[in-house]
Amino acid sequence: MKLIDRLFDRVSSHGHVCLGLDTDYTYLPEDFAAGFSSQGEAVYEFNRRIIDSTLDVVACYKVQIAYYEALGVQGIQAYAKTLSYLRGKGAIVIADVKRGDIAKTAEMYAVAHYSGDFEVDFITLSPYMGMETIAPFLPWIKDSRKGAFALVATSNPGASDIQGLICDGISVSEKVGEMISNIAEEYTGECGYSPLGAVVGCTNREQTARIRERLKNIFFLIPAYGAQGGKAQDVAAYLKDGNGGVVNSSRDILLACKSPAFEGMSFNEAARAECLRMRDDILQYC
């Protein structure tokens, strides 16, 4: 089965939650973290327990590399071990690495994140240096082994500085989305979507309908739900027949044990409860 069809089916059967393992060491309960000899070991074990508690209630996982790089070598080891554990569990994994370079450098990024110690299913790409930044990843995508999500309409406050500029009567983000869509058409799976998808924030409410109309064959990675202000109604507007996207949440899940709603639960039990709450919240609008 093609990778994008696996993800589509996973959304159909498990809902839209993409669990973001953006694990800041400070998120770990103090009594838990104290039991390990290094921060990297503690982060990995925290991730492992979260994964074991949520595998059956999420569509996929997104691991943001910056949180691991911040811990140095031990953090990168925790990153690699987390990815290895997810692969061993058969999970669909997105590495949030936002690569955006050209020529041989981009080729090496593809090798680094599509194989070896850091191997994942999807990676995030930044195409704002031009579409040539996408080209080195396409051979991996062509045979359906791997996928990518290109930044198109992000949710950060400063996105409009560049993405909101008007080009040929449409915004730069819409122009970039059209170019990604044109490339993606060649790789469409049986589900009607391409493994070359787009990152579109669910706080872009004024653009949502227009983006989905223009990017019919694009599967979305949708950030900004929850802590960043996005709501389930905003997410649903990006979907088609209840599918076509996964919705990332990190802090709300990793820190769920601090919520009064889950008082008394362990951090992994609370993470599972928040995944279920989020899943059902989105599904009611689909």
Residue pair 135/196 in contact by the 8 Å Cβ criterion = no
pLDDT of residue 229: 83
Tens of pLDDT along 163-191?
Answer: 999 988 899 999 999 999 999 999 999 99
pTM score, two decimals? 0.96
pLDDT classification of 56: cutoffs 50, 70, 90: very high
* CATH (domain of 9): 3.20.20.70
Catalytic residues: 98
Kindly state the percentage of the chain with pLDDT values over 90.
Answer: 90
pLDDT of residue 272: 98
Tens of pLDDT along 128-162?
Answer: 999 999 999 999 999 878 999 999 999 888 988 99
Total domains, the chain: 1
pLDDT classification of 109: cutoffs 50, 70, 90: very high
The parent domain of residue 251 ranges over: 3-283
